[in-house]
Amino acid sequence: MSRVHTVVDSPYGPLTLVADDGVLCGLYMTGQRHRPPEESFGDRAEDGPFPEVVRQLEAYFTGASDRFDLPLSLAGTPFQRRVWEALREIPYGRTVSYGELADRIGSPGASRAVGLANGKNPIGIIVPCHRVIGSTGSLTGYGGGLDRKRRLLAFERAGERLF
């Protein structure tokens, strides 16, 4: 198999899902910072490896599920992968600061590096980089835009249904 993609609707605009050898390796929002070029997404495949991803996203957006159980291919540096794995441990509806996340991965004082890795997360929403905030509680940076981050956090806190 090779790299393929599809585009699905969401309450946050179209989401581009990308799979490599049948495993999800990207979930990108329109206008997302660090979004790879379209030509790197591979051929468009409406079915392919995506039905379970779509099912779990719909369950998340309707409030029927607060977790994802999908195989993921997270390509990045060892440090980035540590950060992205730690993001998956942040409970639904909760937030942590960049400094707290740096402590959790055993790199105290690396909050800036954690922020950079967080911003390059290739699988937004499923790997919940939106749950990381500034030390003062401010909504600092988000590759998908601060409005989306605000809306995702409000959705998770309120448990409201989006679909």
Instruction: At 124, list the tokens.
Output: 């937004």
Q: Are residues 96 and 54 in the same domain?
A: no
As a whole number of angstroms, the distance between CA 153 and CA 106 comes to 26
Q: Are residues 121 and 50 in the same domain?
A: no
Examine residue 73 and state whether it is found in any structural domain, yes or no: no
- pLDDT at residue 141, rounded to an integer: 72
Q: Which residue has the tokens 């919940």?
A: 128
Q: Which residue has the tokens 């929002």?
A: 29
- pLDDT at residue 49, rounded to an integer: 84
Count: domains in the chain: 2
| pTM of model > 0.85 | yes
Q: Which residue has the tokens 């779509």?
A: 54
Q: Are residues 50 and 122 in the same domain?
A: no
Question: Domain of 28: which CATH number?
Answer: 3.30.160
- pLDDT at residue 1, rounded to an integer: 57
Residue 61: C-alpha distances to residues 24, 64, 66, 77, 117 (Å): 18, 8, 9, 30, 25
Examine residue 142 and state whether it is found in any structural domain, yes or no: yes
- pLDDT at residue 114, rounded to an integer: 93
- pLDDT at residue 6, rounded to an integer: 95
Q: Are residues 101 and 153 in the same domain?
A: yes
Q: Are residues 92 and 24 in the same domain?
A: no
**Annotated catalytic residue within 24, 53, 129, 153:** 129
- pLDDT at residue 162, rounded to an integer: 46
Examine residue 163 and state whether it is found in any structural domain, yes or no: no
- pLDDT at residue 159, rounded to an integer: 60
DSSP string, 47-106: STT-HHHHHHHHHHHHTS-S-----B---S-HHHHHHHHHHTTSPTT--EEHHHHHHHTT
- pLDDT at residue 135, rounded to an integer: 81
Q: Are residues 86 and 153 in the same domain?
A: yes
Its domain, for residue 112, covers 78-158
Q: Are residues 36 and 87 in the same domain?
A: no
Mark whether 129 is an active-site residue.
yes
Q: Are residues 44 and 87 in the same domain?
A: no
**pLDDT beneath 50: ranges in the chain:** 161-163
- pLDDT at residue 163, rounded to an integer: 40
Examine residue 68 and state whether it is found in any structural domain, yes or no: no
As a whole number of angstroms, the distance between CA 105 and CA 90 comes to 12
Beta bridge partners of 26: 18
Q: Are residues 85 and 151 in the same domain?
A: yes
- pLDDT at residue 161, rounded to an integer: 47
Examine residue 67 and state whether it is found in any structural domain, yes or no: no
Beta bridge partners of 16: 7, 28
Question: Domain of 133: which CATH number?
Answer: 1.10.10.10
Examine residue 70 and state whether it is found in any structural domain, yes or no: no
Examine residue 126 and state whether it is found in any structural domain, yes or no: yes
